[in-house]
């Protein structure tokens, strides 16, 4: 098989980081370039074991810096782009929406221009089910690829905007794109500002776990390894111009998630603390993944097997998340949850 040059943006983050490792290990014959700005969410220590591999490269750059990105594409002539880089946390988008527009919208548009200039073979845009807005609690309703876009948070609005630009570059210029829209991910290297790693790290430290509102909001959880396999499939076999929803029918209320973690770690439910609800808090997300299953994907984890593996990973890798929560993270946490109370 010929060598392929693949640019992964946001490869120092949670999902992009798992995807970089998945691709470096699975395809020694591909060259994997990890481009990342190393914001608060980016961390390269997770890649220590692949840094010396011949097929892994790191580039520190901002996707929203046009000249840098255009020059890099001209030099490297990437064939594939898998675009994860983004501001990704809903709570941060509520307090500071501007950077979400800058990175998620403008950054994506610059990447699209660069991909067009070198005539890439495929541009995979990693998006989210949050662009569809929210579902009510009727368990027979799901997001399909035809569900209208109705984003409710500045984060999801910025992702929906980037999706529309990606679509437009396909329709207008014939750029070979595919868009994936995934449900909530969890697994190793998940930054502890998000519900699952936040709960695990705080329960392990015997600290209160903040649950927004009544804890009855529902998310559809997908293990990050299953997401990586889905993106790999779409990169190789996704039809140009098409959208693929990614999810494994693992709906849980937030309270169920938190209680499962507390029980697995043998701690008390008294650690749960109900706090003021998130503004514009979406009630429920749930994915119909039929289209991607027809392309040949199926998840390998249930929520039960995935959460057990994830909790064990956090127990085995305390030094990774402890270094994160000991820095600026603590300032973020104090600000975020003081405001909420
Ligand atoms: P993350 O916040 O963990 O990582 C984002 C990465 O992007 C970080 O390494 C950060 O340094 C980098 N980055 C940010 N701004 C940048 C810029 N201007 N230039 C270059 N790099 C920059 O995010 P994640 O959870 O891994 O999410 C990755 C993608 O998947 C995002 O596009 C997100 O919208 C999407 N997604 C996430 C989930 C989820 O549950 N986490 C679900 C569906 C879709
Ligand atoms: P999160 O992990 O931030 O992902 P998203 O907002 O993209 O779904 O939140 C998952 C759910 O958990 C969401 O309904 C909000 C809720 N939540 C809490 O109850 N407490 C918290 O401290 C956090 C971060 C989230």
* pLDDT tens, position by position, 254-301: 999 999 999 999 999 999 999 999 999 999 999 999 999 999 999 999
pTM of the complete model beyond 0.75: yes
**Ligand 1 touching residue 221 (CB < 6 A):** no
Is 130 annotated as catalytic?
A: yes
How far is 158 from 93, CA to CA, in rounded Å?
9
Mutate to test the pocket of ligand 1, among 41, 72, 184, 228 (most ligand atoms within 8 A of CB): 41
Alpha helical stretches, state H, 88-153: 90-95, 98-100, 108-117
For the CA of 7, the nearest ligand = 1
CB 127 within 8 Å of CB 181: yes
Is 282 annotated as catalytic?
A: no
Q: Of residues 36, 79, 87, 129, which has the active-site annotation?
A: 129
**pLDDT given for residue 104 in this prediction:** 98
CB neighbour burial string for 35-70, b if at least 16 within 10 angstroms, e if fewer: bbbebebbbeebbeebeeeebbbbeebbbbebebbb
**Coil, strand or helix: which one is 113?**
helix
Give percent of the chain above pLDDT 70: 99
CB 64 within 8 Å of CB 106: yes
- Which of the residues in the chain have pLDDT under 50? 340-341
**pLDDT given for residue 339 in this prediction:** 54
**pLDDT given for residue 335 in this prediction:** 84
Ligand 2 atom with minimal separation from the 91 CA: 3
Ligand 1 atom with minimal separation from the 42 CA: 9
**pLDDT given for residue 341 in this prediction:** 42
Beta bridge partners of 32: 6, 56
For the CA of 10, the nearest ligand = 1
CB neighbour burial string for 188-202, b if at least 16 within 10 angstroms, e if fewer: bbbbbbbbbbbbbbb
Gap from CA of 219 to ligand 2 centroid (Å): 9
**pLDDT given for residue 334 in this prediction:** 85
Is 186 annotated as catalytic?
A: no
Mutate to test the pocket of ligand 2, among 135, 212, 280 (most ligand atoms within 8 A of CB): 212
Gap from CA of 195 to ligand 2 centroid (Å): 5
Name the nearest CA neighbour of 154 among 218, 101, 207, 225: 101
Looking at the structure, give the CATH architecture of the domain made up of residues 4-340. 3-Layer(aba) Sandwich (3.40)
**Ligand 1 touching residue 191 (CB < 6 A):** yes
How far is 327 from 323, CA to CA, in rounded Å?
7
Residue of the CA atom closest to atom 19 of ligand 1: 62
**Ligand 2 touching residue 332 (CB < 6 A):** no
To 10 degrees, what angle do helices 318-325 and 303-316 make?
80
Gap from CA of 6 to ligand 1 centroid (Å): 17
Name the nearest CA neighbour of 272 among 216, 208, 218, 214: 208
**Ligand 1 touching residue 164 (CB < 6 A):** no
The domain spans of the chain are 4-340
**Coil, strand or helix: which one is 92?**
helix
**Ligand 2 touching residue 15 (CB < 6 A):** no
Residue 193 token pair: 């500002």
The two beta strands, 80-83 and 56-60, are unpaired
**pLDDT given for residue 1 in this prediction:** 57
**pLDDT given for residue 326 in this prediction:** 87
The two beta strands, 122-128 and 272-275, are unpaired
DSSP count for the chain of H helices, then E strands = 13, 13
Ligand 2 atom with minimal separation from the 199 CA: 22
């Amino acid at each position: 098989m010929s060598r392929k040059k693949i640019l992964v943006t946001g490869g120092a983050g949670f999902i992009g980081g798992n995807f970089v490792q998945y691709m470096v290990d699975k395809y020694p014959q591909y060259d994997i370039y990890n481009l990342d700005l190393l914001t608060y969410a980016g961390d390269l220590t997770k890649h220590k074991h692949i840094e010396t591999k011949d097929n892994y490269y790191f580039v520190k750059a901002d996707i929203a810096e046009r000249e840098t990105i255009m020059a890099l594409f001209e030099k490297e002539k990437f064939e594939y782009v898998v675009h994860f880089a983004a501001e990704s946390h809903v709570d941060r988008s509520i307090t500071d929406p501007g950077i979400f527009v800058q990175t998620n919208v403008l950054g994506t548009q610059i990447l699209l221009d660069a991909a067009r200039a070198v005539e890439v073979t495929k541009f995979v845009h990693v998006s989210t089910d949050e662009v569809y807005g929210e579902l009510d609690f009727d368990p027979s309703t799901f997001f399909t690829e035809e569900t209208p876009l109705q984003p409710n948070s500045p984060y999801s609005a910025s992702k929906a905007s980037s999706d529309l630009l990606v679509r437009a570059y396909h329709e207008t210029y014939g750029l070979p794109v595919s868009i994936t829209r995934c449900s909530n991910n969890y697994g190793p290297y998940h930054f502890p500002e998000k519900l699952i790693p936040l709960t695990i790290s705080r329960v392990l430290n015997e600290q209160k776990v903040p649950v927004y509102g009544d804890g009855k909001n529902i998310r559809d959880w997908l293990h990050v390894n299953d997401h990586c396999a889905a993106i790999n499939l779409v990169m190789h076999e996704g039809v140009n111009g098409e959208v693929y929803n990614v999810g494994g029918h693992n709906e849980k209320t937030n309270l169920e998630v938190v209680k499962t973690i507390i029980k697995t770690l043998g701690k008390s439910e008294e650690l749960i603390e109900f706090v003021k609800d998130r503004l514009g808090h979406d009630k429920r997300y749930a994915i119909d993944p039929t289209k991607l299953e027809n392309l040949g994907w199926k998840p390998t984890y249930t929520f039960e097997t995935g959460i057990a593996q994830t909790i064990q990973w956090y127990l085995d890798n305390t030094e990774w998340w402890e270094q994160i929560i000991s820095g600026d993270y603590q300032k973020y946490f104090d600000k975020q949850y003081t405001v909420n109370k």
